[in-house]
């Protein structure tokens, strides 16, 4: 393939190069005229690798928020190569909260639990840790001489608490009220409170692999530590697992949202309005962590294709109808789709400084989202080279074709600047670059700057 392309390129410059492999662009980039359309930006790993995206969002998300334009919900993520102590501390907090939630929810379910499985010392220990977390959120711990290493040790007491997260537990009514109060305080103060369930589940993914390869889910700290320590630096990302996703007929699903970047400066983003719903093939449960239950990737679910065919039957219109049962609004179009668009805009703004600014380059991406029971929308990852062939169902056969046809209408036909809709693609963001004010200073005077980053 490369040899044929090289031979053609020496004879005449093409008008459009569609690169299916990232290394092809780097191989011949300097010989490609700036006017040639190219479907890749250079060095996308900064924002499409799982560690890269987590890093730039941690650094930039707060500063780039713009109401109804750029906003994001992204599960807490850690690079074990440099943030392991912070992860362990977070793991402990989540374990303490999970124990409290399990006790309170058991009472609300009126479960006839056996005699007290967790000792009151363990329950009060977990409660104390949650109350300490509340103080940190309220900045009441400023004068405390907290030692991160000491705070992140995982001794026998914590191990005992973690082992209780799969059982029903009962405590006296007076203590139950204290637990409920702590849970309510955390709910009011922690923006990612809803990620936390009763089992403290975490998902660990290879940063640079795709198609669900190498992913595992667990509630056991030693399993995570052993796995990440067995791999090279920057291999894994550790992410809080969404324990209570929105389910359809008891099954987990995610949303693949395609979007197209046609310019990195000014940043210009088009979103394809018809998203792809990808279902798992077995009913959702947290009692087992099998990939057929928890990973919605097409490459994973194709192995269990005979178990369920929901992905062949559902599209975003049907999801909208499903969600608006007994409701007059349009839940998908009024809530979910706008939130996905805002998350895409914020992520690409965070990545903008790292992106190639070649004038005639463009790129199609696939963003994966999870929806929770409250219809909050969480960005999971952004994929370069999203799967567009072969189709896995009648819906993907139609959508893949539609995405590619409408993409060509934008990048080749080049609609006028006033046109905000091309086929199913709609313009969701076009950056406004302020004009430079005229001053008496000579034109040769320039000011250069670089954003500050936490080291």
More confident residue, 164 or 75: 75
Q: What's the pLDDT score for residue 108?
A: 75
The secondary structure of 224-244 as a DSSP string is HHHHHHTS-TT-EEEEE--SS
pLDDT > 60? residue 134: yes
Q: Residue 139: pLDDT band by 50, 70, 90 thresholds?
A: confident
Q: Which is more confident, 400 or 46?
A: 400
For residue 435, the model assigns a pLDDT of 73
Identify the pLDDT of residue 114.
Answer: 45
Q: State the average pLDDT over residues 64-70.
A: 96
pLDDT higher than threshold 80 for residue 321: yes
What's the mean pLDDT in 389-401? 89
CA dihedral sign of residues 117, 122, 123, 126: negative
Q: Which residues are paired to 239 by β-bridges?
A: 77, 203
8 A C-beta contact, residue 378 and residue 243: no
pLDDT above 90: percentage of residues in the chain = 52
Considering only 287-296, 339-348, 401-410, 432-441, which range has the smallest mean pLDDT?
A: 432-441
Q: Indicate whether 373 pLDDT > 50.
A: yes
Average pLDDT, the chain: 85
Mean pLDDT, residues 123-131: 84
Least confident segment among 8-22, 161-175, 309-323 = 161-175
Residue 2 pLDDT greater than 50, yes or no: no
Q: pLDDT digit string (tens) for 143-188?
A: 555 555 555 555 656 666 666 665 656 677 777 888 899 999 999 9
Distance between CA atoms of residues 33 and 49, nearest Å? 28
Residue 279 is inside which H or E element, if any? strand 276-279
pLDDT of residue 443: 60
The larger pLDDT score, comparing residue 313 to residue 206, is at 206
**What is the gyration radius of the CA atoms in the chain, in angstroms?**
25
What's residue 328's pLDDT?
65
The model's pLDDT over 94-112, given as tens digits with 9 standing for 90+, comes to: 998 998 888 888 777 765 5
pLDDT reported for residue 115: 44
Look at the block and give the residue holding tokens 């009220």: 177
β-sheet bridge partners, residue 251: 248
Which of 3-7, 36-40, 72-76, 222-226 shows the lowest per-residue confidence on average (mean pLDDT)?
A: 3-7
Pair 286, 199: CB distance under 8 Å? yes
Give 237-282 pLDDT, tens digit per residue. Answer: 999 999 999 999 999 999 999 999 999 999 999 999 999 999 998 9
Cβ 160 vs Cβ 65: under 8 Å: no
Q: State how far the Cα of 275 lies from the Cα of 343, in Å rounded to an integer.
A: 15
Residue reference for tokens 């798992």: 280
Q: How far apart are CA 89 and CA 197, in angstroms?
A: 17
């Amino acid at each position: 393939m490369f040899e044929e392309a090289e031979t053609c390129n020496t004879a005449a410059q093409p008008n459009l190069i569609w690169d299916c492999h990232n290394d092809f662009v780097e191989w011949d980039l300097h010989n490609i005229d700036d006017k040639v359309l190219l479907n890749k930006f250079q060095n996308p790993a900064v924002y499409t690798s799982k560690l890269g995206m987590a890093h730039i969002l941690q650094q930039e998300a707060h500063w780039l928020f713009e109401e109804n334009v750029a906003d994001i919900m992204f599960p807490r993520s850690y690079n074990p190569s440099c943030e392991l102590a912070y992860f362990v501390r977070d793991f402990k907090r989540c374990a303490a909260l999970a124990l409290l939630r399990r006790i309170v929810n058991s009472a609300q379910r009126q479960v006839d639990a056996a005699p007290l499985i967790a000792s009151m010392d363990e329950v009060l220990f977990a409660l104390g840790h949650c109350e300490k977390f509340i103080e940190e959120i309220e900045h009441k711990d400023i004068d405390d001489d907290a030692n991160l290493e000491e705070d992140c040790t995982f001794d026998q007491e914590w191990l005992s608490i973690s082992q209780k997260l799969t059982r029903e537990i009962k405590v006296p009514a007076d203590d139950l009220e204290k637990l409920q109060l702590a849970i309510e305080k955390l709910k009011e103060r922690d923006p990612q409170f809803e990620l936390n369930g009763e089992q403290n589940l975490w998902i660990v993914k290879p940063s640079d692999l795709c198609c669900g390869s190498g992913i595992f889910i667990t509630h056991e700290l030693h399993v995570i530590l052993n796995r990440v320590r067995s791999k090279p630096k920057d291999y894994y990302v550790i992410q809080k697992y969404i324990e209570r996703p929105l389910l359809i007929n008891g099954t987990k699903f995610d949303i693949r949202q395609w979007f197209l970047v046609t310019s990195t400066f000014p940043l210009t983003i088009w979103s394809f309005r018809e998203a792809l719903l990808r279902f798992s093939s077995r009913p959702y449960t947290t009692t087992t962590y099998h990939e057929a239950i928890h990973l919605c990737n097409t490459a994973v679910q194709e192995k269990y294709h005979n178990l369920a065919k929901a992905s062949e039957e559902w599209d975003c219109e049907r999801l909208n109808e499903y969600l608006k049962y007994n409701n007059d609004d349009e839940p998908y179009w009024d809530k979910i789709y706008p939130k996905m668009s805002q998350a895409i805009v914020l992520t690409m703004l965070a990545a903008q400084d790292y992106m190639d600014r070649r004038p005639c380059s463009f790129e199609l991406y696939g963003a994966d989202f999870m929806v929770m029971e409250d219809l909050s929308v969480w960005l999971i990852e952004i994929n370069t080279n999203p799967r567009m062939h072969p189709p896995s169902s009648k819906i993907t056969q139609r959508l893949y074709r539609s995405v590619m046809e409408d993409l060509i209408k934008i990048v080749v036909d080049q609609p006028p600047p006033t046109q905000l809709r091309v086929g199913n693609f709609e313009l969701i963001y076009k950056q406004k670059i302020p004009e430079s004010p005229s001053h008496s200073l000579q034109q040769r005077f320039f000011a250069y700057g670089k954003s500050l980053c936490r080291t």
